[in-house]
């Protein structure tokens, strides 16, 4: 579409928008007038009703003095026995001429209610302002308000009832009319798409708002009661709005219109067209203001955006990297930009060229081109034919290459000028030549790389395959092209995988996966495939590209590895069983030896010398140590050989139970400094861990007064436990060795060199750490960490 056409379309759209806005303003003004008239009618009806109520009240005050209202006396049975002239006039009946009963007077629908009320009258002695609907003698229906009381005899017994009835039929009619008018007004008020508010003074809040007003500004109706108009108005618009409101309350104006900004409850800005009409009281003084508020934020934003768009378009054209020249039908310049001036070395700003005659411009600028005469002839033909020509290539003498486009502009079929655009494509042209060379280079690389590469379309048809893919598939490139890759190569078990991956490519997803394929020789091979979607220049998925690596040999190695792991597990299980058998077979003779030594000592102690008894005791200790060593080896080999169950373990309870089981000499005191936590771990392993460390601490104390302190420190994800003793200490060179099996820093008779190895193994299985601080002769502190959760 020509630029001039676009501008005219925008102008017509703007005119239509202005007309629509004017029509909306007229409708809004009519609605405001209707609302004002309804308000006046409601106010007059209200005043009439108040005057009538005042007059009736005055009449009621004189009833008891003059009894000018209907006065009726009836027996407790409901028979009327006396009435005044006003009652005769009201009811049309005369008790002196015909009998009258309450049933005859009251409308049928009100009989039950009337009799219940009559019973209450007799019980309580009187009632006031009771309303009833009666039927007069001529069949007319009237609404009356009754004040009644019971007549008592000298003994205070009720003998009759008396009542004064006032005709309020007209009052009820007026009230019903007012209710109907109020309902109509409420319907308009509540359902209006335009915000409506009612305010009384400059200082007070809004006394009434409709839902549209609440929706627009975000306040509830209750909140509006405490919000003044100036609180809702943008600071820059407060003064003008305040002046207009003051003039209205002074009676200087009856109405005004203003476009201003409102501040919503959540501090957003809303542009609104506000029409305010004053409502005057009976004295002609404005005491209320009715305002209609129409949200025009979108309209304001649209106008602003249109203006911004025009500015952006002008700025865009002025700063385009394309040379622009817009000529009218007489070939005078309407618009040009700096790029055009720079292209043709024009030494003046573009705005200076506006209005310049370009009739002879071709002749004046032909010296820039390699073929000057052809350039002039081409412009002449374009102007004569008036047909669009795009990207016509022109070669300049300085080596530049320009693409020129000619676009004639028509408005309603009338020629209005034309647009010339010039693009310097020198660099892109050279870039394309370089790109062509690069493409040939990388095509050779792809063709000869060691990874198999194919390109397929959206139907999985092969478009290209390199040499490596031909090698791993066994097919030549000619045999592959045009074939459906999945049908040609896919193993029957892999159909669902490929369908899924093709779907992912259509969604733009890339990934890697393994496939079983059947190559040309019929052999089943395993490939690792890395696939990615292939896009055209418009970003549409036109297929996919896959890189393939034959991993058949690696898969065979992985299968062997699995077999080796299974074999290793089986061997470990057999070794574990063997350890239990050996442990049992070794411990049985040791127990026999221990028993024999004990019997020998008991039976022959008096015959043996002290040295022999000592030797027997030494042998007994060695047997016990051997038994303890076998037991420790069995525990060490069992750790991690079975599946452990993580559960909540109360370490405080575990430690207390250990302290109650192990032997602690009287000279040693064990203290738990803080409450130990509950952790998630294998209960048996934690029990072994604490028992070994606490037993070691007790066994290696060489002081007269021994002390073992157990403590914990909480970190973000773990607990740091510590077991401190004042024993003999461990030399620094043994700090790492002691955690290795059969390594010990002392020659203590109970030391097997396995206890701390068991501790290290349990902590490793729980992903913790263990370390120590020790000083020879002073004591040792073992620290270890355990996670809060398994």
**In this predicted model, what pLDDT tens digit does every residue of 235-286 receive, in sequence order?**
898 888 888 888 888 888 888 999 999 999 999 999 999 988 888 877 778 8
Among all chains, which residue has been given the structure tokens 């203001």? 289
Q: Which residue in 188, 195, 224 sits closest to 212, CA to CA?
A: 195
Neighbouring C-beta atoms of residue 286, cutoff 10 Å: 18
What is the predicted pLDDT for the residue at 212?
86
What is the predicted pLDDT for the residue at 226?
84
Judge contact between 693 and 654, C-beta under 8 A. Answer: no
What is the predicted pLDDT for the residue at 429?
82
* Dihedrals phi, psi of 58, to nearest 5 degrees: -65, -40
What is the predicted pLDDT for the residue at 675?
92
What is the predicted pLDDT for the residue at 15?
63
Q: Which residue in 694, 714, 682 sits closest to 755, CA to CA?
A: 694
DSSP 357: B
What is the predicted pLDDT for the residue at 169?
81
What is the predicted pLDDT for the residue at 48?
44
What CA–CA distance (Å, rounded) separates 361 from 476?
Answer: 62
Judge contact between 371 and 450, C-beta under 8 A. Answer: no
Judge contact between 689 and 763, C-beta under 8 A. Answer: yes
What is the predicted pLDDT for the residue at 46?
41
Q: What strands, in cross-sheet order, belong to the sheet with 255-263?
A: 206-209, 195-199, 286-295, 269-280, 255-263
What is the predicted pLDDT for the residue at 676?
93
Coil, strand or helix: which one is 147? strand
In this prediction, the residues of the chain whose per-residue pLDDT falls under 70 are: 1-67, 178, 181-191, 201-204, 310, 439, 441-449, 568-592, 594-597, 603, 605-606, 609, 613, 615-618, 620-645, 740-755, 790
């Amino acid at each position: 579409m020509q630029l001039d056409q676009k501008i005219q379309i925008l102008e017509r759209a703007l005119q239509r928008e202005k007309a629509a806005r004017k029509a909306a303003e007229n409708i809004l003004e009519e609605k405001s007038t209707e609302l004002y008239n309804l308000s006046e009618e409601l106010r007059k009806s209200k005043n009439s009703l108040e005057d009538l109520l005042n007059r009736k009240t005055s009449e009621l005050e004189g009833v008891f003095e003059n009894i000018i209202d209907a006065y009726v006396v009836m027996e407790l049975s409901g028979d009327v026995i006396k009435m005044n002239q006003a009652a005769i006039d009201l009811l049309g009946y005369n008790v002196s001429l015909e009998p009258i009963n309450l049933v005859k007077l009251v409308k049928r629908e009100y009989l039950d209610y009337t009799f219940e009320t009559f019973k209450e009258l007799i019980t309580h002695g009187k009632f006031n302002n009771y309303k009833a609907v009666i039927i007069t003698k001529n069949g007319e229906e009237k609404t009356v308000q009754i004040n009644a009381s019971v007549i008592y005899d000298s003994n205070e017994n009720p003998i009759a009832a008396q009542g004064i009835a006032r005709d309020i039929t007209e009052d009820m009619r007026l009230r019903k009319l007012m209710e109907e008018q109020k309902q109509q007004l409420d319907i308009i008020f509540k359902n209006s798409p335009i915000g409506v508010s009612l305010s009384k003074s400059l200082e007070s809040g809004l006394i009434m708002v409709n839902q549209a007003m609440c929706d627009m500004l975000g306040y509830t109706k209750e909140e509006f009661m405490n919000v003044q108009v100036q609180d809702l108005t943008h600071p820059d618009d407060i003064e003008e709005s305040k002046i207009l409101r003051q003039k209205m309350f002074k009676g200087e104006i009856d109405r005004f219109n203003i476009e201003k900004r409102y501040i919503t409850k959540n501090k957003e800005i809303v542009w609104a067209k506000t029409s305010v009409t004053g409502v005057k009281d009976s004295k002609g003084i404005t005491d209320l203001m009715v305002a209609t508020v129409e949200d025009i934020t979108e309209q304001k934003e649209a106008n602003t955006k249109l203006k911004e768009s025009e500015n952006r378009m002008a700025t865009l054209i002025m700063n385009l990297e394309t040379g622009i020249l817009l000529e009218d039908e007489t070939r005078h310049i309407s618009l040009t930009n700096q790029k055009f001036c720079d292209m043709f070395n024009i030494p003046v700003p573009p705005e200076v060229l506006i209005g310049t005659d370009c009739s002879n411009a071709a002749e004046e600028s032909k010296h820039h081109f390699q073929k000057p005469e052809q350039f002039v002839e081409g412009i002449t033909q374009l102007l004569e034919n008036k047909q669009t020509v795009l990207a016509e290539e022109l070669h300049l003498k300085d080596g530049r290459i320009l693409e020129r486009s000619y676009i004639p502009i028509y408005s309603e079929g009338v020629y209005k000028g034309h647009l010339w655009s010039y693009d310097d494509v020198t660099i892109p042209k050279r870039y394309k030549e370089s790109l062509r060379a690069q493409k040939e280079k990388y095509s050779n690389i792809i063709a000869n790389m060691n990874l198999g590469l194919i390109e397929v379309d959206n139907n999985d048809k092969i478009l290209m395959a390199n040499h490596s893919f031909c090698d791993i598939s066994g097919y030549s490139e000619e045999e592959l092209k045009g074939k459906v890759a999945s049908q040609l190569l896919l193993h029957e078990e892999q159909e669902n995988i490929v369908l899924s991956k093709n779907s992912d490519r259509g969604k733009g997803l890339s990934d890697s996966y393994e496939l079983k394929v059947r190559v040309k020789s019929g052999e089943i091979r395993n490939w690792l495939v890395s696939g990615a979607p292939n896009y055209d220049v418009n970003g549409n998925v036109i297929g996919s590209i896959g890189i393939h690596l034959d991993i058949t040999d690696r898969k065979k190695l992985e299968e062997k590895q699995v077999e080796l792991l299974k074999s290793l597990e089986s061997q470990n299980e057999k070794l574990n069983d063997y350890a239990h058998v050996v442990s049992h077979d070794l411990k049985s003779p040791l127990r026999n030896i221990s028993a024999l030594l004990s019997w020998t000592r008991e039976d022959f102690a008096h015959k043996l010398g002290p040295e022999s008894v000592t030797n027997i005791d030494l042998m007994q200790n060695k047997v016990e140590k051997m038994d303890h060593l076998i037991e420790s080896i069995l525990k060490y080999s069992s750790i991690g050989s079975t599946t452990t169950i993580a559960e909540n373990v109360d370490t405080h309870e575990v430690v207390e139970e250990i302290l109650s089981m192990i032997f602690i000499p009287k000279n040693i005191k064990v203290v738990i400094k803080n409450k130990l936590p509950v952790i998630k771990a294998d209960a048996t392993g934690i029990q072994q861990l604490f028992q070994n460390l606490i037993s070691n601490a007790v066994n290696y104390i060489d002081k007269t007064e021994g002390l073992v302190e157990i403590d914990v420190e909480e970190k973000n994800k773990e607990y740091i436990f510590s077991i401190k003793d004042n024993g003999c200490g461990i030399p620094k060179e043994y700090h790492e060795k002691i955690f290795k099996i059969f390594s010990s820093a002392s020659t203590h008779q109970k030391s097997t060199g396995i206890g701390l190895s068991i501790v290290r193994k349990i902590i490793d299985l729980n992903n913790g750490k263990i370390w120590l601080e020790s000083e020879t002769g002073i004591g040792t502190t073992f620290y270890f960490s355990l996670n809060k959760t398994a």
